[in-house]
Amino acid sequence: MTRRLAEVAKRVGVSEATVSRVLNGKPGVSDTTRQSVLTALDVLGYERPTQLRGVRARLVGLVLPELQNPIFPALAEVVGGALVQLGFTPVLCTRSAGGLTEAEYVTMLLDQQVSGVIFCGGLSSEEYQQLLGRGVPVVLLNAAVDFVGFPQVSTDDTAAVQQAYAHLSSLGHRRIGLLVGPEEHTPSERKIAAFRALLPPDERDAPGRIGHALFSFEGGHAAAGELFAAGVTGLVCGSDVLALGAIRAARRAGLSVPGDVSVVGYDDSAFMNYTDPPLTTLRQPIEAMAKAAVTLLVNQMGGSSPTPKELLHEPELVVRSSTGPANVVAQ
């Protein structure tokens, strides 16, 4: 008990006597200090006293599927900063090999009496039902699956594909392909639907135009190689990581980028202007999306009903050097 008092007092910057008054529900402590002590208890992993467990912490869970893809750390940075400015403590939960699953993270967050949760990417049906049943405010940011009942903030995948397709078409490419994530991944399905709508009717079901891969450099390399072998000269990718894998696949096949094939990424992750060649990509409006997600979450915490409509943010095409005029001989 003494050790717990000392650790919490040190973290908050108050005396052990003040911590003791908070834990015992005694008066003489400001609301701000009381909340800081309770938050410190949660962060340090100590259980709240029984009489205080019904008090929801000013903790907000931020659940990410991974940190390998640069887009997720970028989202976490903006979301975390916005939450801190509002007096909340973000709790970063990332799935990793040998670590906790997202379901285990959700259970942990609920045990810690979090004020709300922002999911970037994945959310299983089990987690969805668990959160919905507990009435915890939730916002889905670029959700991998559609769930009714939670507000969503997403990049407009249809607009993204239309911009990339128009860019490649303007450069003379006629054999344009699409490389996206796994099947049943909602953003990927949306990109495919938009892409097929742009193809001539007789090519919409033609093989060798659409590829699926895990969101990894190696996945992009393997799947893009098949699309280039099928004659694709302009490739739209569902992430920058996939695009970088596609560029390596082109080079391994003896093709130059953008001399023989053009590649468009998606995200505009850090350092994409320093790759070889600098990557043409679709920039997600990370700051605007993250702040919108935080606003929606905070509004729910304040008692507002969640908006039933998905907020779509339009991406921006950033043209660099991985796209160029089509090689007429290659087509």
Residue 129 scores a pLDDT above 80: no
Tokens of 7: 């650790």
Look at 302 and 62; give whichever has higher pLDDT. 62
**Average pLDDT for 144-167:** 89
Quote the pLDDT of residue 302. Answer: 82
Confidence of residue 56 (pLDDT cuts 50, 70, 90): low
Residue 123 scores a pLDDT above 60: yes
Quote the pLDDT of residue 247. Answer: 98
Confidence of residue 305 (pLDDT cuts 50, 70, 90): confident
- For the chain, state the CA radius of gyration: 24
**Average pLDDT for 186-193:** 94
**Average pLDDT for 156-162:** 98
Alpha-carbon span 19 to 34, nearest angstrom? 8
Quote the pLDDT of residue 306. Answer: 79
Q: Which residues pair with 312 in a beta bridge?
A: 154
Confidence of residue 66 (pLDDT cuts 50, 70, 90): confident
- Closest-CA residue to 284 (of 151, 145, 121): 121
Global pTM value: 0.81
- Closest-CA residue to 154 (of 48, 313, 297, 7): 313
**Average pLDDT for 45-63:** 71
Residue 264 scores a pLDDT above 90: yes
Quote the pLDDT of residue 36. Answer: 83
Quote the pLDDT of residue 55. Answer: 53
**First-to-last CA distance in the chain?**
74
Quote the pLDDT of residue 245. Answer: 98
Mean of pLDDT over the chain: 89
Residue 216 scores a pLDDT above 80: yes
* Cis amide prior to 277 (ω within 30 degrees): yes
Residue 297 scores a pLDDT above 70: yes
Quote the pLDDT of residue 23. Answer: 84
Query: Which DSSP helix (H) or strand (E) runs through 92?
Result: strand 89-94
Quote the pLDDT of residue 101. Answer: 77
Confidence of residue 147 (pLDDT cuts 50, 70, 90): low
**Average pLDDT for 89-96:** 86
Quote the pLDDT of residue 122. Answer: 64
Tokens of 131: 């959160």
Alpha-carbon span 136 to 198, nearest angstrom? 40
Look at 276 and 100; give whichever has higher pLDDT. 276
Q: Which residues pair with 91 in a beta bridge?
A: 61
Token match 């050097």: residue? 321
Confidence of residue 26 (pLDDT cuts 50, 70, 90): confident
**51 CB neighbour count, 10 Å cutoff:** 10
Percent of residues, the chain, with pLDDT higher than 70:
92
Look at 204 and 42; give whichever has higher pLDDT. 204
